[in-house]
Amino acid sequence: MKDGKELGEQILEHLNFYRDLGVRWAGDSKPRGSRMSPKPVKRSVPPIVPAAAVEDVDSIREELKNCRRCKLYAGRKNIVFGSGNPHAALMFVGEAPGADEDLQGLPFVGRAGQLLTRIIESIEMRREDVYICNILKCRPPGNRNPETDEIAACEQFLFRQITAVRPAIICALGTFGAQTLLRTTEPIGKLRGKLMDYRGVKLIATFHPAYLLRNPNEKRKVWEDMQIIRDYIRSVADRRRL
């Protein structure tokens, strides 16, 4: 059981996180200085296949378990497939596993993962409510950037994961997550902050949690992006109740 000092430190850390986001209180839906959400950007992309034709994430995981489709297999400890609710309304797509993820076989379990958990909680959701995965399923050596052939080998499985989960909205985390899904070379700073369409699913790009650890002043922009996500999920839920 946690003592009072430890509990107090955890509460203070949590409050400081919200302060960095620009939130005045936990239920605040707009950070100070925030502007109205930009209008969605329309894109024409092929729709996700009908639900009746969709495979489940477990069958995709089984197919991938002994993958040797690129050079990364030689140095991995575990394939990091994905985790969370296989029918989630919100799906996060990151870049690649790090050292902690490679050891545990789970995405976003290091410091960046802890920050992602707090980001999810900031919009009144739990980590187990969402689905989390990466473009690459194996760790690049030294945590270097993914290479073109590695992305090409892995992205078919990512697309199949998205089709299996069928989220209402995807949050692409960081440059490689956003650029791979959107087939663009635009920097993340220009892609974030607006709803886009990806195969009939809404998508928003935002900064990667690892970037926020190095640049904490950018947390408010991520908070703005997360409000767009929360509002969209709520609007979908409201329409379904009609």
Q: How confident is the model at residue 239 (pLDDT cuts 50, 70, 90)?
A: confident
Which H or E element spans position 136?
none
Does residue 4 sit within a domain? no
Does residue 46 sit within a domain? no
- Residue 208: closest CA among 73, 57, 97: 97
Does residue 85 sit within a domain? yes
pLDDT for the residue numbered 9: 56
Indicate the number of domains in the chain. 1
Asked if residue 208 lies in contact with residue 177, where contact means CB atoms within 8 angstroms, the answer is: yes
Q: Is the pLDDT of residue 36 over 50?
A: no
Does residue 38 sit within a domain? no
Cα gap 71→140, rounded to integer Å:
9
Alpha-helical segments (H) within the chain: 4-21, 57-64, 99-104, 111-122, 148-165, 174-182, 188-191, 209-214, 219-241
| pLDDT tens sequence across 115-138 | 999 999 999 999 999 999 999 999
Cα gap 211→3, rounded to integer Å:
32
φ/ψ of 134, rounded to 5, equals: -130, 165
pLDDT for the residue numbered 231: 98
Q: Is the pLDDT of residue 13 over 50?
A: yes
What the block records as the tokens of 93 is 């797509």
Which H or E element spans position 6?
helix 4-21
Q: Is the pLDDT of residue 51 over 90?
A: no
**Mean local confidence (pLDDT), 6-24:** 56
| pLDDT tens sequence across 187-230 | 999 999 999 999 999 999 999 999 999 999 999 999 999 999 99
What the block records as the tokens of 30 is 């707009």
pLDDT for the residue numbered 20: 60
pLDDT for the residue numbered 41: 39
- The pLDDT mean for the chain works out to 86
pLDDT for the residue numbered 43: 38
| pLDDT tens sequence across 63-107 | 999 999 999 999 999 999 999 999 999 999 999 999 999 999 999
What the block records as the tokens of 222 is 């991520």
User: DSSP states of 23-54 as a string?
Assistant: -SSTT--S-TT--PPPPPBP---PPPPPGGGP
Q: Which domain holds residue 208?
A: 54-237
Handedness of CA 61, 63, 69, 75 (dihedral sign): positive
Does residue 27 sit within a domain? no
Cα gap 125→139, rounded to integer Å:
28
pLDDT for the residue numbered 238: 85
Does residue 87 sit within a domain? yes
Cα gap 174→37, rounded to integer Å:
20
Does residue 183 sit within a domain? yes
**Mean local confidence (pLDDT), 19-31:** 51
Does residue 214 sit within a domain? yes
CATH number for the domain including 204? 3.40.470.10
